[in-house]
Amino acid sequence: MNPEPAGKARILVVDDEPNILHAVARILGKKHVVECVGSGEHALETAEQFRPDLAIVDIWLPAMNGFEVTRALKAVRPDVDVIIMTGDTEEPDETLIRAIDEGAFYFIQKPFNRRVLLTLVARCLELRSLRRDRERYLARVARELDQAREFQHSLLPPGRPRIPGLSVSARYLGCHELAGDFYDYVEAEGGGAAVLIADVVGHGTSAAMMTAVVKAAFRASHADDYEPSAAIDRLKESVRDFDPARFVTLCCGRVDPARGEFRYVNAGHPEPIILGARGGEPALLDSTGPILSSVFMDVPYEQKSHPLAPGDVVFLYTDGVTEARGPAGMFGRDRLLSHLQAGRRGDDLLDGLLADLAAFTGSPTGQDDITMLCVEVEGKG
């Protein structure tokens, strides 16, 4: 068996009639590399080394029939295509149906017409080439998505930073290759931390691109020491050139232990929740402006503040938490508040909430991205 010349397919012909093997080899040998064998057993031995792209197999063979040979060939070479040959003219429809059921590309009746054989083989190889092109394309897309996902994950800060006076914990769980959720935080020069949580509409590359743009705008607000009112102006500008259908909800804020307050701007995002050190009812902070979109460039966003005491926790999240669905319906805000009032903090709080969501939905990933960020003011109240 010689190596396959460039551009030629490898075709294995299986028939116990020497004149048929000779005829097929003569017809197909000008364009392709053809290997002829007289039995199913020999076909399986030959396939290991010959590695055929296409097998043309007679139904009536000694020991193993053509359908058995087809199954055995596909067991060792799943990507091989098969054309069944038959001299049976009594039930051609039944032969065709069974050939297709057995995974054959088609079947051809003997004695066959030269042009019919050439056309059928050409069509089979054409579809095979298209299938391989598609597989290569999908593999390339998968590799590029992996790279984009790695890049997107690199935009997230570490889950347990060291910021004087504060304890920060975060969790991010994307349900698609490229998600629209993200969070960020950074130590502010004036003390405390600047925080951001956002949810870009949709998923995929366009959402990933927008998350990178919004994060860059947030980090650029270091020039204003991350004051939320100044940060929102930069964030608004970052989406100016996006189509109105591309929008983001977000909350950016400053956790300031020195001043004992949380200053924030909430652009259509789920309300931040403040957990008191001494328990009691959590405080839910209102939205202070619409979603971030090129449609609302002239709409003002109000900065608000809420007092913070030692031991208080600022909890931020995306709607993948409250809108998670399970057999009992939607997880909802009441279940979230009940979990938050259980007294857990930091990693215990977030990991426990993820476990509750998985149990509620029956899935460890959920139907939407899930992002959570909590910042605790250190010290005892």
Q: Give the mean model confidence (pLDDT) for residues 68-89.
A: 84
Same domain, yes or no: 233 and 300: yes
Same domain, yes or no: 211 and 281: yes
- Domain-located, residue 245: yes
- Of 144, 173, 200, the residue at which a domain comes to its end is 144
Give the CATH number of the domain where residue 82 resides: 3.40.50.2300
- Of 144, 176, 203, the residue at which a domain comes to its end is 144
Q: Give the mean model confidence (pLDDT) for residues 68-81.
A: 89
* pLDDT for residue 52: 94
Same domain, yes or no: 90 and 229: no
* pLDDT for residue 353: 93
- Domain-located, residue 5: no
Whether residue 100 is predicted with pLDDT greater than 80 in this model: the reply is no
| Contact yes or no for 32/6 (Cβ under 8 A) | no
Q: 354 versus 201: which is more confidently predicted?
A: 354
- Of 110, 144, 178, the residue at which a domain comes to its end is 144
- Domain-located, residue 109: yes
Q: pLDDT for 255-310, tens place per residue?
A: 999 999 999 999 999 999 999 987 778 999 989 999 988 888 889 999 999 999 99
Q: pLDDT for 233-254, tens place per residue?
A: 999 988 888 888 888 899 999 9
Same domain, yes or no: 285 and 362: yes
Same domain, yes or no: 263 and 332: yes
Same domain, yes or no: 125 and 48: yes
* Cα within 13 Å of Cα(254), Cβ side: 26
- Domain-located, residue 1: no
Give the pTM. 0.65
Whole-number average pLDDT of the chain: 85
* pLDDT for residue 7: 66
What's the number of domains the chain is made of? 2
Range of the domain at 314: 155-377
Same domain, yes or no: 292 and 333: yes
E strands, the chain, where?
A: 10-14, 33-37, 54-58, 81-86, 106-109, 166-173, 181-187, 193-200, 248-256, 261-267, 273-275, 283-284, 304-307, 313-317, 325-326, 329-330, 370-377
Same domain, yes or no: 258 and 345: yes
Q: How confident is the model at residue 2 (pLDDT cuts 50, 70, 90)?
A: very low
Whether residue 375 is predicted with pLDDT greater than 80 in this model: the reply is yes
Q: pLDDT for 159-215, tens place per residue?
A: 566 788 899 999 988 766 556 788 899 999 888 999 999 988 866 666 777 888 888
